[in-house]
């Protein structure tokens, strides 16, 4: 009975993951407007997209009065093609909304080095509610250099990273450290790993109920979930489940069924963020309502247009007549005109001009400049390849490399 009541102390500025239904860390789909949309529809917490330690180290923290955001920026990489005489803007590596995300944003870090993890975490720890280590993403852009799911094969290194963050970040910033993993080939292997992880001082563990080789189209495996939840409970660590969770109501049923403390929603939230709203509170909203709210947040935060357009291809059903009209749009102004958002057109023109996009022509930038917004790391689906051709450039700015010959079937925006 005593072990069932054990609970790792939650730091003063940290959050308790128990009872929470949260937004998963997703490449490209986890940028600021998407997180604000999830919070708008009732997400209890939001994870930002994985950000590599080396891409954060050396950034400058600035308050952006235009968008009301805090930006971590750096000079473009030397490989960026910048014409002579062109104005150079810093690249935005990470962006948060200090008011709307206060106490609800978890920064997920991609790392394979304890010292670098601490250096990167220290830059953002004062502005977020927790630091999460990505030890579950199986994609090459995450596993290169031993990060992501590759850490599951090096448990000593993973534990060293968590222990370093607990020892250095928790006392100074009073937030919790957590980790996101995948299940291993056998329950015995998973249990051995989880027991080591919960002994490092973390406050939360998220388990994606798939093995590393599995892809989103394959059904999640939940046979190990109750065991993992029990191990976490014995150590007083909150356990969150991830994988094929479709809505808040479904999440609540699953937490009861498997004895976990919370649930993480990924793919369904990417399609319609109102999945975080319980049926009793209105349930799933029409995609038209969700899209307009997303556009509002995109304009409010002056989100990079390429990322906004990509997200519209996720939020607008492929069979909707307006879906095919998205690809030709080259500006916020044109998007609002096409969707009939007359009340947003004036603001759309202001944002286009701020982003150096001519709202009245085909959308070419008035001046060729370096990218000003870093997308979350990730490849492109066949559906999105024509929508945003700048993904690889944005990946390099974020300190992430992906093979140029990656097959299309493997280049999918998925949760980390």
* R_g over Cα of the chain: 21
Confirm whether 209 is a catalytic residue: no
Rounded Cα–Cα distance for residues 140 and 144 (Å): 6
Q: Name the phi and psi angles at 283, rounded to 5.
A: 65, -155
User: Got the DSSP string for 219-251?
Assistant: PP--TTHHHHHHHHHHHT-EEEEESS--SHHHH
What is the side-by-side strand order in the sheet with 69-74? Answer: 60-64, 69-74, 91-96
Handedness of CA 205, 115, 31, 80 (dihedral sign): negative
Per the rule left: phi > 0, alpha: psi between -120 and 50, beta: everything else, 139 is beta
Catalytic residue among 137, 209, 239, 329: 137
Compute the CA torsion angle 139, 141, 145, 149 (nearest 10 deg): -30
The upper half-sphere exposure of residue 210, i.e. CA atoms within 13 Å in the direction of its Cβ, equals 20
Residue 260 has φ and ψ, to the nearest 5°, of -85, 170
Give the C-alpha distances (Å, rounded to integers) separating 364 from 295, 329, 360.
20, 11, 10
Catalytic residues: 137
């Amino acid at each position: 009975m005593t072990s069932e009541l054990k609970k790792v102390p939650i730091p003063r500025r940290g959050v308790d993951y128990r009872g929470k239904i949260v937004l998963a860390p997703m490449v490209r789909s986890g940028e600021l407007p998407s997180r604000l949309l999830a919070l708008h529809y009732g997400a209890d917490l939001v994870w930002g997209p994985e950000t590599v330690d080396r891409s954060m180290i050396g950034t400058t923290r600035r308050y952006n009065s235009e968008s009301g955001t805090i930006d971590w920026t750096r000079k473009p990489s030397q490989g960026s093609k910048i014409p002579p005489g062109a104005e150079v803007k810093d690249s935005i590596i990470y962006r948060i909304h200090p008011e709307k995300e206060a106490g609800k944003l978890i920064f997920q870090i991609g790392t394979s080095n304890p010292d670098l993890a601490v250096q990167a975490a220290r830059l953002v720890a004062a502005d977020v509610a927790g630091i999460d280590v990505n030890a579950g993403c199986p994609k090459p852009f995450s596993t290169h250099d031993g990060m992501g799911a590759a850490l599951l094969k090096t448990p000593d290194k993973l534990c060293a990273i968590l222990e370093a963050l607990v020892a250095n970040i928790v006392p100074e910033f009073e937030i919790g450290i957590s980790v996101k993993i995948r299940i291993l080939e056998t329950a015995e292997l998973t249990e051995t790993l989880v027991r080591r992880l919960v002994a490092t001082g973390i406050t939360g563990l998220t388990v994606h109920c798939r093995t590393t080789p599995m892809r989103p189209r394959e059904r999640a495996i939940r046979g190990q979930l109750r065991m993992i939840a029990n191990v976490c409970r014995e150590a007083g660590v909150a356990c969150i489940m991830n994988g094929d969770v479709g809505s808040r109501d479904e999440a609540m049923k699953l937490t009861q069924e498997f004895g976990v403390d919370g649930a993480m929603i990924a793919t369904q939230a990417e399609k319609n963020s109102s999945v975080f709203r319980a049926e009793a509170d209105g349930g799933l909203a029409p995609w038209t309502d969700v899209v307009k709210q997303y556009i509002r947040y995109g304009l409010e935060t002056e989100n990079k247009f390429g990322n906004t357009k990509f997200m519209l291809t996720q939020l607008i059903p492929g069979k909707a007549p307006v879906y095919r009209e998205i690809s030709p749009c080259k500006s916020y102004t044109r998007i609002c005109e096409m969707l009939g958002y007359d009340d947003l057109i004036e603001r759309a023109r202001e944002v286009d001009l701020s982003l150096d996009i001519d709202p009245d022509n085909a959308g070419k930038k008035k001046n060729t400049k370096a990218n000003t917004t870093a997308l979350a790391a990730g490849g492109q689906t066949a559906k999105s390849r024509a929508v945003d051709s700048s993904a690889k450039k944005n990946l390099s700015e974020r300190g992430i490399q992906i093979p140029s010959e990656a097959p299309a079937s493997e280049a999918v925006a998925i949760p980390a």
